Structure 1
Amino acid sequence: MSISAFDLFKIGIGPSSSHTVGPMIAANRFAAHLHDIGILPAVHAVRIELYGSLGATGKGHGSDKAVLLGLEGNLPDSINPDHVEPRLAEIRSSRTLLLKGSHPIGCVEKEHVLFFRREALPQHPNGMRFVALDAGANVMTLKEYYSVGDGFVVSKEGQRVNLVQAGSIQVEGELPYPFHCGADLLRMSADSGLTIAALMMENEKHWRSADEIREKMLGIWDVMAASVRRGCSADGELPGPMKVKRRASELHRQLKERSEESLADPLAMLDWVNLYAMAVNEENAAGGRIVTAPTNGAAGALPAVLHYYTRFIPGANRDGIMTFLLSAAAIGLIYKKNASISGAEVGCQGEVGVACSMAAGALAAVLGGTTEQIENAAEIGMEHNLGMTCDPIGGLVQIPYIERNAMGAVKAINAARMALCGNGKHYVSLDNVIKTMMQTGADMKTKYKETSRGGLAVNVIEC
């Protein structure tokens, strides 16, 4: 099945695309399944079993909250983040959940939401099982789903089920430019005379009109920009036992106060790039509304680089924003098709590393790079993130991910600049580095892949 840019850039809530967004979509689909097969009125309770990385770090990533809200019929792109905690409090106090928004069933979390921390389902580290029970606690039906990164969900049978999100559509037939790898992009661009962004636009027109694509894509940018604004204005602590202080708002105040001093510092813009990335990922960690780019844990890098373009590059405009996002999406789709963007499968190289690669190529595109230079920038962005582990302290997307997104954004800017200094010719291709990333992820020990059983997660004491 072909993948749209809007499958990659999803509007959702934090803190995790694979642990929050995906489970909410899976739970929503299970509730719909119960309705579709006609047994919903007879369901007395639903048992949710979370396995692998979902079992190990799902509590810190809000997977338990996501599945409860999904069973009630909510979806990540439409739920109001401000309503999440009040509704969860009602479910817990009443011990009642409204299945598909209307049918009351019993819900006691310690009995009905189970975390299997050291067990995994066979098809992916992010596995979950939903079991419908009747009044006698007998199994009526069950379904297994896998959250494979960026909010993509597949059933045990391999069917993609995340297309229930608002605005997602399916149209049969082949895309006009069905690229599957970087080599395809280079060849198709040379043959057609189209840029990567233009090729991507033509493919998107397979599903939507040009006006709708522009409206939706600029809407994605508006959500990204809004997450930066909220992050820059929010004070206090992030959820969880570590009581991590939000830093973006204070950094924002400092940067505004010393604007004249910054004129003498040629690297002052990096402070702003750091700010933009940290603001988004603090919002994500707080359960706010963000855009997966390509995941929640890596949601800050790409908006930070796009803010760098709009704030620091003369002549930046809405057309440039379109070029940036379409170019980034084309690169991200190659990773999705040929490797993985799941930290539970390949470590953080598949999240922040891919975000860095996408942002690097996209920035090279809006700075006037050739197709070869864009591909080179994307390759550099990943090459120097190879082997990055996924080791969230306390199972929370806070440390090291907030700073890690800022570092990814700065690397992306440097990768684009390095590529633009050359002529596009280089030894390591984007396809080579994607293949290497996937192999590296396969070789990486499981404890370094979003389980909180290795790396910083075991060497830093939670306070």
Structure 2
Amino acid sequence: MRAARIFILDLQELGLLEKVNMVKITLYGSLAATGKGHHTPQAILLGLEGSDPETIDTGTIPSRYDSIRTEKTLILGGKHRITYDMDRDMLWRFDQVLKTHPNGMRFSVFDQTGDLLATNEYFSVGGGFVVNDKTKVDENLFYKGVDKSIVHGARLHQSHMSEPGDAQQPKGSPHPPYPFTSGDSLLALTKRHNMTIAQIVYDNEQYFGLSDDDIHEKLMRIWGVMDGCIRQGVTTSEKTLPGRLGLRRRAPMLYRRLMRGFYPGLSTPHLSAIEGGSQPAGSIEAPNGDQDGNGNENGKSGSAKALTRATRVVGALDHAMLPMPPRKTVIPAMDFLSCYAIAVNEVNASGGRIVTSPTNGAAGVIPAVLKYIIEFVSDDPEKSVKTFLLTASAVGMLFKRGSTISAAEGGCQAEVGVACSMAAAGFAACMGASPETVLQAAEIGIEHNLGLTCDPIDGLVQVPCIERNSLGAVKAITAAQISMASDGVYSVTLDEAIEAMRLTAADMSVKYKETSLSGLATTVKIPLTVPAC
């Protein structure tokens, strides 16, 4: 969507938009192989109509997309109407990969006589970043703004090859005050200036003209979208996810099970009531029409219904080796963690708004771990949010520079693996760990995801993606706990792990890089009919 909008803005700037009579869209490589399951056509077409992923009303996407297809019209930039035939004007080149990146797309526009007006190629390299030949590499590393005219000049022109770790850069320098290109250089900065990783990143952000209030507002906005996504995922009334798999949503069910007993007689409280939402304290909204708000279901009290439910034991009761009795397997904190990660990725799979952290396919790990910190650990939520996000972003940037955050380049180790590493670092930082321990948490987080493949069934970001986010969140906290218990004793640095990931990605077969050409994508048979809810 961002790439398409950039293309439209460039046409407007060149005075060509009103001359366009036809647009051709060609998708290449991984983008073509999994594009339909990833909602790529919807994103591109609405981007051509001028929409932006951060502000679009996600509830309007299905109807707008259907309208474009049925009416065969496209309103470029929201102002210039042309004829658009999906079957004729969107081309899928599964067999061809453009040299810059596997996620490539080409936009071409023609006038009424059929003459080519303009064409450009764009590459989606992960995390919402878009590059092309014009932007080159440095611009991609430091910003993802759509309108280049409002981007701080230093983000466009700074080089990532500068020597970090020196004394603080003087005012007016072409670089932020604390540039770093590796885990070692970042650690050196924290020691030299007696600063945390979050403080280093914070001061670098101020270099781009952001005030304390700006940074606070932007970080809390990111967390607000994450938190709202969790809320949407656990309270939705939708039963299944879109697509041929007919996959049942699990987050609402998991959340109801976890919240059972928080208030006696209430088995399905809404998230807004638990978290102090807009409803009056103590009030609860009857979900899905099943309950009357007092915990009664179909005229029968919750406790009475529970008494009639038989306990199921797996195994023969008349055997010499008696089966084990059922036991409670709920570990509340960890179960909440998994529930939240699943909730975010179910919202993503249904086309809702999420935060690329670092990517859409891995969007559940960081929100889940941060929510876990706020609910079960933190005494100062706002401070935890800022510390977590600033620390995690530093680690994510190291992966983006040193390897990749794109599954099309590196498999799922580049998505869930990197998210796990980022979340582990953020968790350790919020627990007061030293910068060295924080980076060790990040190293453990990625080390045990090396080689993780990306093989989504039917190209949908559902199986194994959703569960994989849940496991990534659990592994992130485990990685942080191990690092904090290791007392500075370790054998592998974060830089070494990032380089190992880069080499692993280079050696990995293209079949396991978001193409759905092998693995679960080929061994699991898709049912011809969608199963009932």
Structure-2-length-normalised TM-score: 0.80
Q: Deviations over 1:201-227 (max 9, x none)?
A: 000111211111011101111111110
Q: CA deviation at 1:102?
A: 0.6
Q: Which residue of 2 aligns with 1:341?
A: 405
Q: Which residue of 1 aligns with 2:78?
A: 101
Partners of 1:273 and 1:45 lie apart in 2 by 48
Flag the structure with larger Rg: 2
1:370 and 1:424 in contact (8 A); partners too: no
The residue identity in structure 1 corresponding to 2:258 is L
Q: CA deviation at 1:32?
A: 1.4
2:102 and 2:408 in contact (8 A); partners too: yes
2:27 is paired with a residue whose SS is strand
The residue identity in structure 1 corresponding to 2:197 is I
- Give matches, 1:135-154, under 5 Å: 135-154=112-131
2:357 and 2:363 in contact (8 A); partners too: yes
1:274 to 323, 326, 338: 338
Q: Please provide the CA RMSD for this pair.
A: 1.9
The residue identity in structure 1 corresponding to 2:231 is R
Q: Which residue of 2 aligns with 1:16?
A: none
The residue identity in structure 2 corresponding to 1:188 is L
Partners of 2:330 and 2:55 lie apart in 1 by 42
In 2 relative to 1, CA 294–394 (structure 1 residues): closer, same or farther, beyond 3 Å?
same
In 2 relative to 1, CA 167–242 (structure 1 residues): closer, same or farther, beyond 3 Å?
farther
Structure-1-length-normalised TM-score: 0.92
List runs of 5+ in structure 2 lacking aligned partners: 155-173, 265-327, 528-533
Q: CA deviation at 1:402?
A: 0.5
1:363 to 400, 416, 427: 427
Q: CA deviation at 1:323?
A: 0.5
Q: Which residue of 1 aligns with 2:222?
A: 220
In 2 relative to 1, CA 360–450 (structure 1 residues): closer, same or farther, beyond 3 Å?
same
Q: CA deviation at 1:167?
A: 12
1:74 is paired with a residue whose SS is coil
Q: CA deviation at 1:138?
A: 2.9
Q: CA deviation at 1:25?
A: 1.0
The residue identity in structure 2 corresponding to 1:135 is Q
In 2 relative to 1, CA 113–87 (structure 1 residues): closer, same or farther, beyond 3 Å?
same
Partners of 2:147 and 2:497 lie apart in 1 by 32
Partners of 2:252 and 2:98 lie apart in 1 by 41
Structure holding more helix per residue: 1
The residue identity in structure 2 corresponding to 1:176 is P
In 2 relative to 1, CA 368–186 (structure 1 residues): closer, same or farther, beyond 3 Å?
same
2:28 and 2:102 in contact (8 A); partners too: yes
Q: Which residue of 2 aligns with 1:331?
A: 395
Q: CA deviation at 1:67?
A: 1.0
Residue 185 in 1 paired to residue 181 in 2?
A: no
Residues 157-166 or 438-447, more deviating: 157-166
List runs of 5+ in structure 1 lacking aligned partners: 1-23
The residue identity in structure 2 corresponding to 1:334 is L
The residue identity in structure 1 corresponding to 2:151 is I
2:378 and 2:384 in contact (8 A); partners too: no
Partners of 2:58 and 2:187 lie apart in 1 by 41
Residue 297 in 1 paired to residue 369 in 2?
A: no
The residue identity in structure 2 corresponding to 1:214 is H
2:105 is paired with a residue whose SS is strand
Q: Deviations over 1:134-193 (max 9, x none)?
A: 223332221111111111101134434731179973242201000111001110000000
In 2 relative to 1, CA 368–265 (structure 1 residues): closer, same or farther, beyond 3 Å?
farther
2:460 to 364, 381, 396: 396
1:43 and 1:132 in contact (8 A); partners too: yes
2:6 and 2:147 in contact (8 A); partners too: no
Extract structure 1 runs of 4+ deviating beyond 4 A: 165-168, 258-261
Partners of 1:342 and 1:258 lie apart in 2 by 42
Partners of 2:179 and 2:330 lie apart in 1 by 42
The residue identity in structure 2 corresponding to 1:224 is M
The residue identity in structure 2 corresponding to 1:239 is P
1:75 and 1:165 in contact (8 A); partners too: no
Partners of 2:38 and 2:330 lie apart in 1 by 38
Residues 47-56 or 86-95, more deviating: 86-95
1:200 and 1:330 in contact (8 A); partners too: yes
Q: Deviations over 1:328-368 (max 9, x none)?
A: 01111111111100000000000000000000011000001
Q: Point out which structure has higher relative CO (alpha carbons under 8 A, 6+ apart).
A: 1
Residues 307-316 or 342-351, more deviating: 307-316
Q: CA deviation at 1:383?
A: 0.2
- Give matches, 1:4-403, under 5 Å: 24-159=1-136, 160=139, 162-164=144-146, 169-172=151-154, 173-207=174-208, 208-234=210-236, 235-258=238-261, 267-403=331-467
Q: Deviations over 1:107-153 (max 9, x none)?
A: 00011111111111111101110010122333222111111111110
Q: CA deviation at 1:270?
A: 1.2
Partners of 1:258 and 1:388 lie apart in 2 by 38
Residues 437-446 or 89-98, more deviating: 89-98
Q: Deviations over 1:50-96 (max 9, x none)?
A: 00001111111111111111111111011110111111122122211
2:70 is paired with a residue whose SS is helix
Partners of 2:488 and 2:193 lie apart in 1 by 19
